[in-house]
Amino acid sequence: MILRILATLVLSACGVSGDEDIVIADFEAATWGDWQISGTAFGSGPAAGALPGQMSVAGFQGRGLVNSFAGGDESTGTALSPPFRIERSHVAFLIGGGADAAKVGVELLIGEQVVRQATGAESEDLVGDAWDVSELQQQLARIRIYDYASGGWGHINADHFIQTDTPPERFDLTARLEQYRKSAEYMDEMFRPQFHFSPELNWMNDPNGLVFHDGEYHLFHQYNPAGNTWGHMSWGHAVSRDLLHWEHLPLAIPEVNGVMAFSGCCVVDTQNTSGFGSDENPPMVAIYTGHGHGRQVQNLAWSIDRGRTWRLWEDNPVLDLNNPDFRDPKVFWHHPSQKWVMLVSLAAERVLVFYGSTNLKQWTELSRFGPAGSIQKPNWECPDLFELPVEGRPGETRWVLEADMGAGAIAGGSGGEYFVGEFNGTEFRASQHAQWVDFGRDFYAPISWNNLPQQQQRQVWLGWFNNWETCLVPTSPWRSCMSVPRTLSLRSVQFNNEEPEQLVLVQQPIEELKQLRTSTLTPDTSGIAWPPTAATSPGDLGGYEFELEATLIPGQGRSLGFRIRSGSDEYTEIGFDRWQNAVYVDRTHSGVVDFHPRFAGRHLAPARLVDSGIQLRVLIDRSTVEVFINDGEAVISDRIFPVGDDPVLELFCGGEGAQIRDLRVHRLQTVWRK
């Protein structure tokens, strides 16, 4: 008892008692008080919520908050706190608004030096954030809230700055997940893909760190633990033993002190070259881009427990060019030259840089590739490089270099291109011009699995099933899914008599997908004509989870194909257009299309006749269509959002002599537990 009184006396003599939080600023007064305000963005005092012209603002505490939307996104300014002494392990606060850390955000200053930084996530919902300041104890600090931005999302919201030893959990993801997992809708909402990977909750973009280790396929991905739009980018994580059924795991690599974990890759360091593990237990090493404080650098994180927990390397970064657009490393072991090779993008210059290393920690530049390929692109990101067999030529291989552009792709918006060529361990040389990876609008940033077992003898990748231009698809509480995993090879193809043969990238759904087939229908395809007629009766397909295989034999008319109808004027059309020599997906009438003006449309892929027909394999899930043409020599991947729930398969042709042969419709079962 006496001891306790003594302790209290000592603590109160120091000015603070126990673990109590210390409020730095809560913005409940009508004026800024001791804060120094410059510019016009912060208005004459704390805001009471949204300001004129702003969407609704939520998540702040009490009546007031800092909101730099005074005068709209155009206005700029700063708000600087009076100095305070750091006396707790964390400074915690609520933050929302723009995500461009170079222009908007919150900083912790010691003297004039910025020691911590945070920014919003392009959301008007404020979320909790905290800086670990344990190493800054007793120093005098100030908080600066800055808005130097005048474009879209050019504002910052913040509230309730406190010092605390128990920072609130950053996001309420754990509690939300717990609740969601118990809900009747779990992985079963209207647009929820049933055989494509998607996160349980929140926003996802690029696949990251695809690697096989110890019997498990890992699928890391760009993930926002805080919400259903892009922001707070971290690595989400899932594992599978068959590439079909996925187990969602906790966040692997979080955003730390305002540095987001952007895209990257993962290797199994079998020989423990990095020293992070041991010979008996080789480490998994993730190489990813740290994005924050105005630059992008390459970082390492490692795990010695099969990817369940991750440590960030204390000597990060491994590469820093002091460049704001230097991202998306892909690393692989180059056996002939016995070294690690990294490929990373100088995105704004549209140049890929190759580095070599023997320990994953020290990297030396080997060569550069680009600018090359499409000249439309504003940037280049998420590169990949791998060696593939050429079909029908035993022992022959070529290297394929793939990279993605944020805009300007074949079907509009974002997409990928690839080069076929040679890689000698130092330099990549293209032997053909660039080709499009996918002819739909929704296949982005694919990367291939590292470390697949030798005996599988295959290269497999998957991509983000979305397009940056139309990425705010109408789904909640999650957003985005991945394509099905696809097996890759090269094939020599002559598209028409005028052109020489060229090697094209062939993508086919992984063989494992057939395991999901439950039953097969063989609809009658005789006498097809115009208008489209139902080939299977309503309800027969049992939902939007089916796979269709057919050969189209074009006759005299312009087009033939299928409609997947889900309502009286709602359908997605897939067919061959004889005038355009192309297979197409037309999603103009596919359901919800008006969430973005560039969403509705018809997307074409060049197609040649093989044995006078065109073979199609079409995967249709609740909100996706993937069309693999002639055993995968071209692919169209498109999202669709059909509202009707009674699908009918209709067949059509526009003239004499056309046939649909070998039509088989396989029902696929869901991969999610019900």
Binding residues for ligand FRU, per CB under 6 A? Answer: 205-206, 222, 233, 262-263, 289, 327-328, 381-382, 445
Q: Is 132 a catalytic residue?
A: no
Q: Do residues 122 and 99 make contact, with C-beta atoms less than 8 angstroms apart?
A: yes
Q: Is the dihedral of CA 254, 260, 265, 271 positive or negative?
A: negative
Please list, in sequence order, all residues whose beta carbon lies within 8 angstroms of the beta carbon of residue 178, skipping any fewer than 6 positions away: none
User: For residues 218 and 327, which CB has a smaller minimum distance to ligand FRU in the complex?
Assistant: 327
Q: Which of 154, 146, 157 is nearest to 71 (CA)?
A: 154
Residue 82 per-residue DSSP state: P
Closest to ligand FRU by CB, 290 or 654: 290
The minimum distance between CB 288 and ligand FRU, in angstroms, equals 8
Largest CA distance in the chain: 101
Min. distance of Cβ 234 from ligand FRU in angstroms? 10
- Strand-pairing partners, residue 116, are 108
Residue closer to ligand FRU by CB (options 198, 263) is 263
The nearest distance, CB 407 to ligand FRU, in angstroms, is: 11
Q: How many of the other CB atoms lie within 10 Å of CB of 589?
A: 18
Q: How many residues does the chain have?
A: 674
Instruction: Please give the backbone phi and psi of residue 229, each rounded to the nearest 5 degrees, phi first.
Output: -130, 170
For ligand FRU, which is the closer residue by CB, 264 or 647? 264
Shortest distance, position 328 Cβ to ligand FRU, whole Å: 5
* Cβ nearer to ligand FRU, comparing 357 with 466: 466
3-state helix, strand, coil in the chain (%, to 5): 5, 45, 50
Cα atoms found within 13 Å of the Cα of residue 187, Cβ hemisphere only: 19
Q: Please list, in sequence order, all residues whose beta carbon lies within 8 angstroms of the beta carbon of residue 497, skipping any fewer than 6 positions away.
A: none
495 within 8 A of 472, measured Cβ to Cβ: no
What six digits make up the tokens of 670?
């869901």
What whole-number distance in Å separates Cα of residue 75 and Cα of residue 55?
A: 17
CB of 91 or CB of 312, closer to ligand FRU: 312
CB of 418 to ligand FRU, least distance (A): 16
Asked, as a colleague might, if the bond just before 167 is cis with ω within 30 of 0, I would say no
CB of 598 to ligand FRU, least distance (A): 17
In what order do the strands lie in the sheet containing 502-509?
444-448, 459-464, 486-493, 502-509
Catalytic residue from among 73, 125, 206, 621: 206
Q: Are 286 and 302 in contact (CB under 8 A)?
A: yes
Q: In terms of DSSP bridges, do strands 36-39 and 502-509 run parallel, antiparallel, or are they unpaired?
A: unpaired
Nearer to ligand FRU, 296 or 566 (CB): 296
CB of 199 to ligand FRU, least distance (A): 14
| Nearest-angstrom CA–CA distance, 552 and 573 | 14
The CB-of-205 to ligand FRU minimum distance in angstroms stands at: 5
**Is 179 exposed, middle or buried (CB count within 10 Å of its CB: 0-12, 13-18, 19+)?**
exposed
**CB nearer to ligand FRU: pick between 405 and 671:** 405
Residues with catalytic roles: 206
